[in-house]
Structure formats: C-alpha cells, structure tokens
Amino acid sequence: MTEQITIKVNGIPIKTQAGLSLSEITKGEKPCGGHGLCGKCKVIAKGELSPITEREKSLLSAEQLSEGFRLACLTFALGNCEIVTPDGEKGSQIVTEGALPAIEIDPIFKEYGVSIDIGTTTLAARLYKSDGTLVSSTSMLNPQQEWGADVISRVESALNGKGKELASSIRAALSGIITELAFSADIDPKNIDGVVITGNTIMLSLLTETSPEPFSHAPFEAKRLFGETLSAAELKVRVLKKDTKIYVAPCISAFVGADTVCALLATELCSKDTAMLADIGTNGEIALWHNGKLTVCSTAAGPAFEGVGISMGMRGAAGAIDKVTLINGKLEPHVIGNVPPAGICGSGLIDAVACLLDNETIDETGYFEDKSILIKAPVSITRQDIRMLQLAKSAIKAGVMTLLHNQGLSEADISSLYIAGGFGNYLNKRNAARIGLLPKTLAARSLSAGNAALSGASMILLNSASKTKAEAIAKVANVTELATDPFFSEEYVAGMLFEG
C-alpha cells in the first residue's frame, strides 16, 4: 500500500501519496511538458524531498537552491513537506475585466448564462443573470500547458495521439470554472442554461476534438471556423444539463480566431472611422478598420511576451518583476506580491530593456558588453533574452506597419489603437514605443481594452443581435498573409533595431 503523507501547499494541508512529483501535487505549469528542460516550474519546497538533481543545479542558481527553490517536475515528495508556489501569496494576473458597450439586454439564455474565454495560457469566465447583472467572474490557468506552453506544441501532441487527453483536460477545466461560478452565486450549475465560448482557432479545435492537422503545415487553412451551437452533452461538459446550448463563437482563419472577432465586437472597432486592434501575445493578431473594410493578420511573435523562452522568464504571478523604472541611472524593479523576485514577466522585460537603452547599457542593436545584466538578484537577462525580445517586438510592429502600408495609410491616420488581452493592461506604452514594439504615434493613441475577447463573448450571451454581428465580422474580414508579403519581410528586418 502506498504511503499517505501530508503536504502543505501555500499553507493548506492536503493528504496525498508519497512518490508524486511536486508538479503532480500542485497541478502547476509544465511549459516543457515536465521534462526538466525549461526551468520554469520553480517552487520553494522543504521537507522530505528527493535529492537535488544535476539538471536542477544547471537551471537554478546557487542562491536559489540555498533559498529552497526546486523544479517541481524534477522533485518528488518522499514524505511530509511544504510547498510554496510562485502564485502562493497572490495569484496570476489574469484579466477578467473589460467594459461592454451599451447593448440591449436580449439574452440567448433564460436564467443564468456564462461567457468563457479559452486562452492558450489562461481561462477567464463571467456569470450573468438574464437581466444583464454580472454576478461573478473567475479565472484559472489552462491545464493544457502540461502538453506545452504554446499552441504548436499542443498541435504536435494531438497529432501524436494525445487529442482526447487535451480535450478532456480543457473540458474538465470548463466544468470546474462553471461550478466555481455557480457556487459563488449559490446556485446549482444546472441552473445555467446558456454558455458562449471564445478562443483562438486552435484552442477551439482542441476543445471539440477537431483535427488540428491543417495547422501543422502550409497553407494553414482551417477546415472548421465554428460559429456553431452545440449541446453540453456533445462537448462533454458534464456539470450542465445535457441539452444546455453552448455557442462556440466564429473564427476568421486558422490563426485569427474567435477571440479576435469578440474583441472587435467589444471595442466596436467596425463603427469607428479608422482604427486598429492588436492582441499582443505568442500569436499576435492585428486588425485595421478603414473606409468600411476590415483587414486582419496574424504574426508569430513567439512567447517572449509571456515570459517563455526567457532565461528567467515567468508569467505575471507573485515573484515576477512586472515593472522597472530608472531612478538616478539605476534600475528599480517592482515585484508582484511584494515577495523576493523569482523571475521576470513580459511587461517587466520590456520596461527593463527600455531603461537599459535609456542609460546606454544596451545599444540600438541590442548589444551589451557582459554576458548578462542583473535586474535584481537573482534575476538577470541575457543576450539571448534580448534577441528573443527583438524577434517578438519586430514581428508585432511589422504586422502593424504592413496593414497600414497595404491600405495606403500612415500612423497619423489612425484615431485609436486598442490593445486587447491581459498584456495590454500592464504594458507601459512609453516603453513599448522606446523599444520599437509599437510605432510612437500609435503608442500615444493606444487604449487598453482589457479582456476584450471575454467582453465580446459576454455581449453575444446577453444580446442575440451581437451573435449576428460576430458572424458578419468573421465573414467580411480580409486576411493579409504576412508570410508572402515582401513589405512585411523588410519591416521585420528593420524592426530588429531598438528605436530611441
């Protein structure tokens, strides 16, 4: 019989069996699939644990090891122990907020309805009454990170026979998040009689067990773009009544998903004069509305903005440096949760590089003399980190400039740039312009739209006409293929420099 042990996770005692990894116990992130390759699953642990591995010694500094840091995927609980996760004192900064424009309340449900945004990294959801009252909201990490931090890793896993496991994990998460919302309102989940789900095209494909094979090779043409109503039974969301209707919002293309459609709906971009929308993330999605025409594109920025691929990168959770300012020529970082720093997230990386450009530690090419630059012990950034940021920021700016160029527009012609998603909430616009992530004029005219994807899904839930609008947006959008656009290639290369 397996020995039962007691483990305190962030101060909460739980009973479990000996021999499990700390990743299994905490249900934490495994960006590299739990193979001990990335060093991102850092926790603080003490007690009866497996010995420190050589791999941990190579990925953690001597100072971190002395402070009790371990890699959760490589450390096993042999007996009673205590674990503090990076978000133990303060959870991840997952944005559920976002304003809805004025709409007539004409819901597609009768009693209670739920809107859900399935992001690559996080899930966010809201519960509404039929009179339009927001009852509660909640969020959680996407459990599919067990199969990789990015969508391509998950596509590969699905094609290698893990499709059902990926679908089951996200369906279980949906049931959990719906149950949590219902509990907060003191109702039975089966009182929820309408759900709207948004997300990028790959996330929705993995949810519905639609083959992701088209996403693995050119010409990347999705065979299913959703805009469909399914039953809870069909999606295997078992906490709802079997016949509860779940509307899966429409996508535009393989890499411009329903999350962009919903963000366009929430920002009312298509009712402006000339305006843009940018969702800055691993897969940057950009939209331009001009003279009654909607043009969109997708640019593979990579995961640097989410802290992945950065030597000491992490998501925006307790322990992450999320802001950096320059005071008397010295870096002054802010750490989420007011705890010792464990890493740096995307917004902190942008701030740090902008400050290092200002004090001339880094030149416009990204070069600096030392192998690494200390931000705050033990967190530093390396030359490779700078390179990853250059690739990511250049991809976003080149996408923006290509859409403008192809419509014969300049930055000055754009009235507003809406930045959707959680990243936009924490992005310092001045620093984004300083490093060349956004054109200066547009950075000055940018507005944070919060979780616009979730807001758009909420509009569909609360107003039946919004469902029609979303489907119309998806149909009229013109997709610009950046991979074959020579202007994009030129801008991408030019954009590698940091602009002063």
* pLDDT value at residue 404: 97
Distance of alpha carbon 496 from alpha carbon 477, whole angstroms: 29
How many domains, in total, are found in the chain?
Answer: 2
Look-up: residue for tokens 């959703």? 226
Residue 145 lies in a domain: yes
* pLDDT value at residue 469: 97
Looking at the structure, tell me whether residues 145 and 246 fall in a common domain: yes
Residue 485 lies in a domain: no
Buried b / exposed e along 144-173 (16+ C-beta atoms within 10 A) = bbbbbbbbbbbbbbbeeebbeebbebbbeb
The 3-class secondary structure across the chain, one letter per residue, is CCCEEEEEECCEEEEEECCCEHHHHHCCCCCCCCCCCCCCCEEEEEEEECCCCHHHHHHCCHHHHHCCEEECCCCEEEEEEEEECCCCCCCCCCCCCCCCCCCCCECCCCCEEEEEEECCCEEEEEEEECCCCEEEEEEEECHHHHHCCCHHHHHHHHHHHHHHHHHHHHHHHHHHHHHHHHHHCCCCHHHEEEEEEEECHHHHHHHCCCCCHHHHCCCCCCCCCCCEEEEHHHHCCCCCCCCCEEEECCCCCCCCCHHHHHHHHHHCHHHCCEEEEEECCCEEEEEEEECCEEEEEEEECCHHHHCCCCCCECCCCCCEEEEEEEECCEEEEEEHHHCCCCEECHHHHHHHHHHHHHCCCCCCCCCCCCCEEEEECCEEEEHHHHHHHHHHHHHHHHHHHHHHHHCCCCHHHCCEEEEECHHHHHCCHHHHHHCCCCCHHHHHCEEECCCHHHHHHHHHHHEHHHHHHHHHHHHHCEECCHHHCHHHHHHHHHCCCCCC
Looking at the structure, tell me whether residues 149 and 239 fall in a common domain: yes
Residue 257 lies in a domain: yes
Looking at the structure, tell me whether residues 128 and 181 fall in a common domain: yes
* pLDDT value at residue 61: 79
Is 43 within 8 Å of 7 (Cβ atoms)?
A: no
Residue 13, domain extent = 4-84
Q: Answer with the one of 84, 103, 127 that is the final residue of a domain.
A: 84
* pLDDT value at residue 317: 81
Looking at the structure, tell me whether residues 262 and 192 fall in a common domain: yes
Looking at the structure, tell me whether residues 163 and 19 fall in a common domain: no
* pLDDT value at residue 88: 45
**Below-50 pLDDT ranges, the chain:** 1, 88-92
Looking at the structure, tell me whether residues 76 and 125 fall in a common domain: no
CATH number at residue 18: 3.10.20.30
CATH number at residue 171: 3.30.420.480
Looking at the structure, tell me whether residues 118 and 216 fall in a common domain: yes
Residue 66 lies in a domain: yes
Give the count of beta carbons closer than 10 Å to the beta carbon of residue 69. Answer: 24
Looking at the structure, tell me whether residues 124 and 262 fall in a common domain: yes
Looking at the structure, tell me whether residues 195 and 52 fall in a common domain: no
Looking at the structure, tell me whether residues 163 and 17 fall in a common domain: no
- Cis geometry, peptide bond prior to residue 51 (ω within 30 degrees of 0): no
Helix axes 452-462, 464-476, angle to 10 degrees: 130
Length of the chain: 500
Looking at the structure, tell me whether residues 131 and 259 fall in a common domain: yes
Residue 176 lies in a domain: yes
* pLDDT value at residue 1: 47
* pLDDT value at residue 500: 53
Looking at the structure, tell me whether residues 77 and 117 fall in a common domain: no
Give whole-number Cα distances, 144 to 96, 140, 211, in Å: 19, 12, 16
Is 63 within 8 Å of 378 (Cβ atoms)?
A: yes
Is 451 within 8 Å of 98 (Cβ atoms)?
A: yes
